Structure 1
Amino acid sequence: MTSRSAGRDGAAAVASETAATDREQPRQRVIEAAADLLAREGRDAVTTRAVAVAAGVQPPAIYRLFGDKDGLLAAVAEYGFARFLATKHLDPDPRDHIEDLRAGWDLAVEFGLANPALYTLMYSEPASRTSAAFKAGMEILMGRIRRLAAGGRLRVGEDLAITLIHATARGAVLTWLTLPEDRRDPALLTTLRESMIAAVTTEEPAVQDPGPAGAARALRATLPEQTALSGAEQQLLREWLDRLAADG
Structure 2
Amino acid sequence: MPRILSEADVADFRERLCGAAERLFAERGPDAVTMRQLAAELGVSPMTPYRYFQDKDDILAAVRTNGFDRFAETLEQARERAKGARAKGAAVGEAYVNFAFEHPHTYKLMFDLNQPHEGEYPELVRAARRARETMTGWVEDLIAEGVMAGDPEEIGLMFWSAVHGPVVLELAGKLPPGTAKRLQHTLATTLRKGLRPEA
TM range (shorter): 0.7 to 0.9
Counterpart selection for 1:105 from 75, 89, 93: 93
Counterpart selection for 2:54 from 67, 72, 78: 67
Count of residues paired in the alignment: 187
Residue 53 of structure 1 deviates from its aligned partner by 1.7
1:190 maps onto 2:179 in alignment: no
Are 1:155 and 1:202, in contact at CA under 8 Å, matched by a contact in 2?
Answer: no
Are 1:90 and 1:140, in contact at CA under 8 Å, matched by a contact in 2?
Answer: no
Q: Report the counterpart of residue 162 of structure 2 in structure 1.
A: 168
**Matches for 1:202-213 after TM superposition, within 5 Å:** 202=193, 206=197
SS in 2 for 1:66: coil
Are 2:35 and 2:56, in contact at CA under 8 Å, matched by a contact in 1?
Answer: yes
User: Which amino acid counterpart does residue 144 of structure 2 have in structure 1?
Assistant: A
Q: Report the counterpart of residue 22 of structure 2 in structure 1.
A: 35
Counterpart selection for 1:50 from 37, 43, 48: 37
Residue 158 of structure 1 deviates from its aligned partner by 1.1
Q: Report the counterpart of residue 149 of structure 1 in structure 2.
A: 143
> Pairwise CA RMSD of aligned residues?
3.3
- Distance (whole Å) between structure 1 residues aligned to residue 130 and residue 61 of structure 2: 17
- Distance (whole Å) between structure 1 residues aligned to residue 60 and residue 180 of structure 2: 31
* Displacement over 6 Å in runs of 4+: none
- Distance (whole Å) between structure 2 residues aligned to residue 187 and residue 52 of structure 1: 38
User: Which amino acid counterpart does residue 206 of structure 1 have in structure 2?
Assistant: P
Pair 21,187 (structure 1): closer, same or farther in 2 beyond 3 Å:
closer
SS in 2 for 1:156: coil
Pair 91,122 (structure 1): closer, same or farther in 2 beyond 3 Å:
closer
User: Which amino acid counterpart does residue 70 of structure 1 have in structure 2?
Assistant: D
Q: Report the counterpart of residue 13 of structure 2 in structure 1.
A: 26
Residue 195 of structure 1 deviates from its aligned partner by 2.5
What's the TM-score, normalizing by structure 1?
0.61
Residue 178 of structure 1 deviates from its aligned partner by 2.7
- Distance (whole Å) between structure 1 residues aligned to residue 82 and residue 12 of structure 2: 38
| Greater length-normalized contact order (CA 8 Å, ≥ 6 residues apart) | 2
- Distance (whole Å) between structure 2 residues aligned to residue 121 and residue 86 of structure 1: 17
Aligned-pair identity in percent equals: 26
Q: Which moved more, 1:189-198 or 1:123-132?
A: 123-132
Residue 150 of structure 1 deviates from its aligned partner by 1.0
User: Which amino acid counterpart does residue 24 of structure 1 have in structure 2?
Assistant: A
User: Which amino acid counterpart does residue 112 of structure 1 have in structure 2?
Assistant: A
Structure 1: 5+ residue runs without aligned partners? Answer: 1-17, 208-217, 219-248
- Distance (whole Å) between structure 2 residues aligned to residue 91 and residue 120 of structure 1: 23
Pair member with larger Rg: 1
Structure 2: 5+ residue runs without aligned partners? Answer: none
Pair 31,130 (structure 1): closer, same or farther in 2 beyond 3 Å:
closer
1:119 maps onto 2:103 in alignment: no
